[in-house]
Each structure stands twice: as structure tokens, then as C-alpha cells.
Amino acid sequence: MPSMKLLVAEDDPFSATLLVDALRRIGYQVKVVADGLEAERTLLGDPGIRLVVSDWVMPGIDGPELCRRMRSRLCPLYTYFILITARTGLDSRLEGYRAGVDDFLCKPLNLDELLARVEIARRILEMQEELVRRSAELEALKQELELRNARLADMAITDALTGLRNRRHFHRLYESNFLIASETGRRLTVILLDVDNFKRYNDTYGHPAGDEVLVGVADELRRNVRDRDLIARYGGEEFVVLLPQGGTMEGIALADRLRRCIADREWPNAPITASFGVATLNPSTPNPTALLDLADRALYASKQGGRNRLTHARALGPRVTPFPPPPSPAPGDGIPAAGAG
């Protein structure tokens, strides 16, 4: 039988000795006190005591009051309380039950009955302890499952290489933001950007080096875009930024800042630049696809205009011109252009 802590509260030395000797013989760790207040202090100081055998009448406080105070405490594990009394009437037992007593032993004590009642208490306490243990295990498993589900949910919307949100997640939020902006008249701007000459860079330096470029571009986006805006890897070397409350000028300013940050970053093998297309929602934009198409056309105009520049969709027309005009490139700046890429 596993050892269990037990408190005997008995002011009669002879009875206390009988109780302690009998209980220790069957393996219990027994503490003995002679009055109710000392019993209360002992219980407060040792939460490992799971079973109390107490006389009804004691100095300080009596057995029912000791039990009542014990029950008022919040404890993770239950403490079983056996009350010893010479009172045999129903009223006395009801008083004890109302105080929280679990069982009674009548004086004069029968040690065999005492040990049987204590054995019943032990089985009840061990079952309760097992239930608490299993409940804790189930709670731990539940928390682990919730954590794993949260990780899986995050993985489902995250680009594995860059750590940015992926295209699927972008479209889900983009379409809801488009609907809200269309119905409320709020501003909404989309920025598409594409790393210039990325295929040539991959062919020259290898795909691992190309992956490092994509991670570096993602890092620049994270450092320069507000938390309320959404950044996502749109596919390949293309990225997208959604500004739910951004207008034309905010979109142009952010795109130009991102363009300069990418161009000014120290890259390990060769300079890297990116081209940008910006489109802002207006009353004539029919649907989310149309706004993205405008941003994509603006991006294409930046590529056609020489790369490392931005174009806003408002500049699109019979003859597309980049906005604003790009500065003259420095000699040897970047990888020589060879077609759109």
C-alpha cells in the first residue's frame, strides 16, 4: 500500500497512542496533535496530509469546527475527515455532516473498525487522486493538440521560405477588405513588386543564393511596412502588400521607400532591385480581380520602363509611363537587363 500522510487530532494521550501505533503499523505517516488549533496549523502547513482522524471535543476548536475551516480552503486534492465521538444521536451526526465530515467512529474505539474505515478512505482518496492525474493529463493533451492545430493553421497560411503570408491567405483577406472598402468608401491600395532579373541571378549564383535574396526582400518588407498592413509572397519572386486604409499617395510613398531599401541593401553577390506596380481602389473598380489586374499592369509598365522603379495604375493609358521617372542608373548598377524578369 502506498504511504499516505494522516493527521490524528486527539487530546487524550492514551487514545492518541492507540491510534498512532495502529495506523503506523499498516504504513501510514502519522502526525499527532492534542488540540484543534494546532491541528489547523498543521493542516495549513502540510497540504500533503490527505486524511484526518479527529476527536469531536478538543481544546481550542472542536472537531466539526476544524472540519468546517478545512473545507473552506481551496485545495487541489480532497482531504478525508473521520470524526471520533461518543455522541450517537442523529442530530449530532447531521451536525457533523453539515460541517463536512465524511465518516464517524464511535467511542469506545474498535481498532479493527478504525483500520477498515481508514482503508475505505484511502481507496477513495487514491481514486480521486487518479482522476485528478488523468484530468491533468487530458488537459495537457488538449493544450498540446490546440498548440499543434494552431501551428498547422499558421503553416497553412505561411510561406515556408520567407515566413510571410502566402497567396491563398492574401486573397482571403484581400477580398474581404475589398468588399468593406467598396461598401464604406474606405481607401484601399495594392502594391505588387517583382525582383528584377531574378532568373538570371538564379542561373548565375544558384538557387540557394536566389532563396537568400527572397528572404532578404521579405525582411525589407517586414521592416518597412506597418503591422496593420498585409505582406505576402505572391509567387516566385513576386510579393504583394495590401494597405487596407492606404490611398494613392501612401501607396506611392511606401512603394518608393521599399524600392530604395531593396536597392540600397548590401547583397552578397550582386546588387538587387525590384519593380513595383501600385493600384488604388476607385468607384469605377468593379471587383477585386480588376484592382489586382491594374496593379499587375502597372508592375509590367515598370519592368518595360527599365526596372527598379514604380508605376501607379493612374498612369496607365494608351501609352503607359512609369511614375515617377526613374533616376539614371549608376554605371555597373545591378545585373545587366536582358528582357523582362
Decide yes or no: CATH 1.10.150.20 for domain 5-134: no
pTM above 0.85, yes or no: no
Catalytic residue check, 237: yes
Q: For the CA atoms of the chain, what is the radius of gyration?
A: 39
Cell of 300: 509590367
pLDDT digits (tens, 9 = 90+) for 127-181: 988 888 898 899 999 999 999 999 898 889 999 999 999 999 999 999 999 999 9
For 167-315, which CATH class? alpha beta
Q: Pick from 186, 193, 283, 164: which is nearest to 244 by CA?
A: 186
Residues of the chain with CATH 3.40.50.2300: 5-134
Cell of 75: 485545495
Cell of 55: 476527536
pLDDT-derived band at 74 (thresholds 50, 70, 90) equals confident
pLDDT computed for residue 333 by the predictor: 39
**Among 237, 238, 250, 266, which one carries the catalytic annotation?**
237
Residues of the chain with CATH 3.30.70.270: 167-315
Cell of 245: 486604409
In DSSP terms, 31 is beta-bridged to: 7
Spell out a b/e string for 164-173, using b for 16 or more CB atoms within 10 Å of the CB, else e.
bbbbebbbee
pLDDT digits (tens, 9 = 90+) for 309-333: 999 999 986 444 444 444 444 433 3
pLDDT computed for residue 110 by the predictor: 87
Considering the chain, what is the average pLDDT of its residues? 88
Rounded average pLDDT over 10-37: 90
